[in-house]
Amino acid sequence: MSNNIPVFDDEFNTKLENLFKWRRDVRRFKTTPVAQKDIDYLLNIATFAPSVGNAQPWRFVMIEKPETRQLVMDNFDNSNEDALSGFDGERASLYASLKLAGLKNAPVQMAIFTETKPDEGHGLGRMTMPETLQYSSVLAVYSMWLAARTLNLGIGWVSILDPKKISSDLETPNSWAFTAYLCIGYPEEEHIDPELVRHGWQDRTHLDGKVFYK
């Protein structure tokens, strides 16, 4: 034990609760540049995420070249067109009206991959559930997402992408699994309600019918 053990008081907890609520999936970005020190801060915060066996399997690919960004945009456009074709009638119109990614404007873009065969961790904790490696990367993503909001930065997670295509476009190692694509920048607007609630796609369901006892 040490005297440096932090104490989290009610004031902090209220603010933390606000952070959970105001952390939003952002798709509308200003083109204002983001300071390199802020990106470095987020990446550093990511390294404190929990990981299975302490394998720290996250790999961060900063997508910077215009031609690389174009490949990602093409990937999104194709995947989104396929997705739209799966809806009919009003749902299709509503889907088509949604803004689902900020790929055109977000000044910082980052792909997160997971090393599925890391030496680190020596396999501990993942024999029966190898997917916990990807889960570890997801925890790193959420760490950045929360920390970004405190810097007034927004993050949007784009999942409407073909993972095989992005892996081949980025020429990543075979053992890397594509896990997440993040758009990062200053948001055009702030909301406490998710964009998909605000635009009538899907309401919050709270805990209704989700807690069981065994």
Q: Which of residues 28-67 bind a second copy (CB under 8 A)?
A: 43-45, 47-50, 52-56, 58-65
CA 104, CA 120: separation in Å to the nearest integer?
Answer: 36
Query: Tokens 């689902």 label which residue?
Result: 100
Residues 172-191 that bind a second copy (CB under 8 A): 179-180, 189-190
Q: Least distance (Å) from a second copy to the CB of residue 166?
A: 10
| Binding map of a second copy across residues 131-170, x = CB under 8 A, - = no contact | xx-xx--xx--xx-xxx-xxx-----x-xxxxx------x
**What is the token pair recorded at 137?**
């990367």
CA 70 to mean position of chain CA atoms: 20
Binding-residue total with a second copy (CB under 8 A): 99
Residues 65-94 that bind a second copy (CB under 8 A): 65, 68, 79, 82-83, 86-87, 91
Residue 74 per-residue DSSP state: H
126 binds a second copy (CB under 8 A): yes
Q: Least distance (Å) from a second copy to the CB of residue 49?
A: 8
Residues 93-122 that bind a second copy (CB under 8 A): 95, 98, 100, 111, 120-122
| Neighbour count for residue 74 (Cβ, 10 Å) | 12
Q: Name the residue nearer to a second copy (CB basis): 61 or 105.
A: 61
Q: Under a CB-based contact definition with an 8 Å cutoff, are residues 47 and 120 in contact?
A: no
**What is the token pair recorded at 47?**
């390294």
Q: Name the residue nearer to a second copy (CB basis): 25 or 105.
A: 25
The one-letter code for the residue type at 9 is: D
201 binds a second copy (CB under 8 A): yes
Please, which residues have CB within 8 angstroms of residue 44's CB and are 6 or more apart in sequence? none
Q: Under a CB-based contact definition with an 8 Å cutoff, are residues 160 and 55 in contact?
A: no
Q: How far apart are the first and last CA of the chain?
A: 36
Q: Least distance (Å) from a second copy to the CB of residue 186?
A: 13
Q: Least distance (Å) from a second copy to the CB of residue 24?
A: 8
Distances (CA, A) of 114 to 9, 149, 165: 35, 24, 16
204 binds a second copy (CB under 8 A): yes
Q: Least distance (Å) from a second copy to the CB of residue 8?
A: 4
